Structure 1
Amino acid sequence: MQHKTRIAIIGYGRFGRVHAMRARTHPAFDVVCVVDPQPHARHAAQIAGFMTVARLQDLPRGVEAAAVVTPYETHAEIAVTLMRMGIDVLVEKPLASTERDIDALLDAECATRRKLCTGHIERFNRLLSAPLWSGTPHSIAFTRCSSLSVGAGSVVLDLMVHDLDTASLLFGRKEEETFEIIGVQRQCGTVNAQVLFCGSQLNLSASHGAHKSNVHLLWQDFESRNELCLRSSDTATGIDALSLQYTAFHELLSGAHSERPIASASEGAMAARRAIAIESWS
């Protein structure tokens, strides 16, 4: 019988609830408890059948892993505490929201020798499982919008960070990557950024307040223009991207080979640092 990893879900907000449900139905995990300081969140988790505690210090014995699904400004403090408790950690993107927090996470990963990875779920989008181009495109553009209300956090750290990681994944030349911000424009819940990336122009647009969440990827070479809606992923098998991410997380924890590896802490750090640079660009 496959060993089930005993996992705790940290945070039971909008996306934390989704994480808890996916982990509970995943054959490789046993959700031991949900941690949330808010009484109404713990009540909601209890109604859904989860054991709850208010503090990390109250975690039951035997927790082996945790998924941190809290506001991004809390990621570092929570994940560092968990690693010091001997727990391996999956942190939802962005890995952190400041350079200092990123450094603290990487230092703690090294000092504790725990596994730390980042939840960049687009890596498990079936539409991105095969190469999209043979030669380097002249330009690439991501347009990502969310139905979250305008003002619901940074669109760069919430949305654009996805596409910064995906761009690295698509190029697959980490040792050769160059990243230079050319310009950034902000207007009413939307941020547009132009970046010189690996010799190609990378155009990024992220916005809150859309009627419906969506993502489009467009790439162009000298002969053709191509467009792909990344929300058209085939779900005929019933296995969604978040479940695939949990499979990759378990493979990392167990030392098994993964055909689609989860984003490492260093990869999450790179995407977060680039998002922070765009956020602070003026």
Structure 2
Amino acid sequence: MKAGVLGVGSLGYHHARILREVPGAEMAGVYDDDAARREKVAAELGVHAFRSRDELLEAVDAAVIAVPTTAHAEVALAAIDAGVHLLIEKPIAHTLAEAEAIVDAAAARKLVVATGHVERFNGALRACEPYLEDPRFIESHRLAPFNPRGTDVAVVLDLMIHDIDLVLSLVGRGVEGVDAVGVPVLTPGADIANARISFDGGAVANITASRVSFERMRKIRFFQNSGYMSLDLAAGTGEFLRLKPGAKLPEGEVGVAALLGLVERIELKGDGAEPLRAELEAWVRAVRGEAPLVVSGEDGRDALAVALRIMERIEQHAAAGMAVRG
């Protein structure tokens, strides 16, 4: 399977770096509109630099799209028209209509389109899967220092969408309601946001994202009938706390020591694999027909749909606040 990378900025560079070593794929080369950038990356990685997007699309069976989000649809539809399988970085598109167009075009051509929600391949998340049983409440915090890269979109599409995709996949039920608030701090769009998503069946997710934090944090917690799970996605570790099999709570007041004696703590730890590498390997296997697709174009579209609902609620809250102050 001949593969290439379209867009070799910060993230596209790492896609190209890893794709050279993925079993089942032959790295054909890279393309970027910035000629100096593509030549520099090609020289560093020892790969071919294509002179145009069309030249790359003619030479490959599959491609990673890591161009700015606003260009995703144009590039993806051109690639699909050329018969190329895709992995499109998140968010899959700038608008829901564009996402639908990508999904529909790929289905019509029977092409594989994956969405780059890399947290699905986080080692801690994979380690917790055997213990997940219909979570009723999910809470996540994704905080990062300010970085001009990615500020062409609000924090919801830049950072929060990772956790939106996670909760959609973990709960596995339709979204019933969305409420959200966000605040612009350094950019015109929301730089800090909190969203509350309710699902059919009663599950609730509370998601916080910030790109103006002094600390980095990527943590998520699950509450379910069988216990409590806490994951540090940055470290790839976590823990699952549950009542020991056969344990019964004593009558009357229970001290901390007695309570701890009733609880079983299970350490959760990933295998140390680089999530981006795992994502690319899974994509290559899916394109080659060796395994099912993990994060589909439809998944990317659904995450984008919820993200856009959150942004709409943020705008509504902002407008209501201005009306009160005015």
TM tier relative to shorter chain: 0.7 to 0.9
Q: How many Å separate the matches in 2 of 1:94 and 1:177?
A: 20
The residue type equivalent to 1:142 in the other structure is S
- Corresponding residue pairs, total: 272
Q: Give the counterpart of 1:185 among 164, 182, 187.
A: 182
Q: In the superposition, relative to structure 1, how do residues 7 and 224 fare at CA in structure 2: closer, same or farther (>3 Å)?
A: closer
Q: How many Å separate the matches in 1 of 2:156 and 2:101?
A: 21
Q: Give the counterpart of 1:145 among 143, 146, 150.
A: 143
Please give the residue correspondences for 1:211-250 in structure 2 after superposition, counting only pairs within 5 Å.
Answer: 211-220=214-223, 226-233=229-236, 239-250=273-284
Q: Does the 8 Å CA contact 2:29/2:42 hold for their aligned counterparts?
A: no
Alpha-carbon deviations, 1:171-227, whole Å to 9, x = none? 2x3xx4223112323242211111212412211111113345331112345897643
Q: Does the 8 Å CA contact 1:155/1:207 hold for their aligned counterparts?
A: yes
Q: Does the 8 Å CA contact 1:157/1:275 hold for their aligned counterparts?
A: yes
Q: How many Å separate the matches in 1 of 2:64 and 2:123?
A: 23
Structure 1 residue 113 corresponds to structure 2 residue 110: yes
Q: Alpha-carbon deviation of 1:10?
A: 0.5
Q: Alpha-carbon deviation of 1:135?
A: 4.6
Q: How many Å separate the matches in 2 of 1:236 and 1:277?
A: 33
Moved over 6 A (4+): none
Please give the residue correspondences for 1:144-183 in structure 2 after superposition, counting only pairs within 5 Å.
Answer: 144-149=142-147, 152=151, 153-171=153-171, 173=172, 176-183=173-180
Q: In the superposition, relative to structure 1, how do residues 70 and 213 fare at CA in structure 2: closer, same or farther (>3 Å)?
A: farther
What residue is the counterpart of 1:36 in the other structure?
Answer: 32
Structure 1 residue 136 corresponds to structure 2 residue 168: no
Query: TM-score, structure 2 length as denominator?
Result: 0.76
Structure 1 residue 252 corresponds to structure 2 residue 254: no
Q: What SS class does the counterpart of residue 305 from structure 2 fall into?
A: helix
What residue is the counterpart of 2:55 in the other structure?
Answer: 58
Alpha-carbon deviations, 1:129-166, whole Å to 9, x = none? 224443532x2111112334267232111111111111
Q: How many Å separate the matches in 1 of 2:277 and 2:213?
A: 26
Q: What SS class does the counterpart of residue 239 from structure 1 fall into?
A: coil
Structure 1 residue 100 corresponds to structure 2 residue 97: yes
Larger Rg: 2
Q: In the superposition, relative to structure 1, how do residues 87 and 221 fare at CA in structure 2: closer, same or farther (>3 Å)?
A: closer
What residue is the counterpart of 2:198 in the other structure?
Answer: 196
Q: How many Å separate the matches in 2 of 1:71 and 1:191?
A: 22
Q: Does the 8 Å CA contact 2:123/2:272 hold for their aligned counterparts?
A: no
Q: How many Å separate the matches in 2 of 1:256 and 1:224?
A: 35
Q: What SS class does the counterpart of residue 70 from structure 1 fall into?
A: coil
What residue is the counterpart of 2:76 in the other structure?
Answer: 79
Q: What SS class does the counterpart of residue 193 from structure 1 fall into?
A: strand
Aligned-residue CA RMSD (Å): 2.3
What residue is the counterpart of 1:20 in the other structure?
Answer: 16
Q: Does the 8 Å CA contact 1:38/1:54 hold for their aligned counterparts?
A: no
Q: Does the 8 Å CA contact 1:186/1:192 hold for their aligned counterparts?
A: no
Q: Choose 81-90 or 108-117, whichever is displaced more.
A: 108-117
Unaligned 5+ segments in structure 2 are 186-190, 238-268, 317-326
Q: What SS class does the counterpart of residue 4 from structure 2 fall into?
A: strand
Unaligned 5+ segments in structure 1 are none
Q: What SS class does the counterpart of residue 53 from structure 1 fall into?
A: coil
Q: In the superposition, relative to structure 1, how do residues 62 and 131 fare at CA in structure 2: closer, same or farther (>3 Å)?
A: same
Q: Does the 8 Å CA contact 1:192/1:203 hold for their aligned counterparts?
A: yes
Q: In the superposition, relative to structure 1, how do residues 83 and 225 fare at CA in structure 2: closer, same or farther (>3 Å)?
A: same
Q: Does the 8 Å CA contact 2:28/2:60 hold for their aligned counterparts?
A: yes
Q: Does the 8 Å CA contact 1:146/1:208 hold for their aligned counterparts?
A: yes
What residue is the counterpart of 2:253 in the other structure?
Answer: none
The residue type equivalent to 2:302 in the other structure is M
Q: How many Å separate the matches in 1 of 2:298 and 2:58?
A: 29
Q: Alpha-carbon deviation of 1:41?
A: 1.2
Q: In the superposition, relative to structure 1, how do residues 44 and 238 fare at CA in structure 2: closer, same or farther (>3 Å)?
A: farther
Structure 1 residue 279 corresponds to structure 2 residue 311: yes
The residue type equivalent to 1:27 in the other structure is P
How high is the sequence identity, in percent, across the aligned residues?
A: 26
Alpha-carbon deviations, 1:8-30, whole Å to 9, x = none? 10101010111111101222222
The residue type equivalent to 2:218 in the other structure is V
Query: TM-score, structure 1 length as denominator?
Result: 0.88
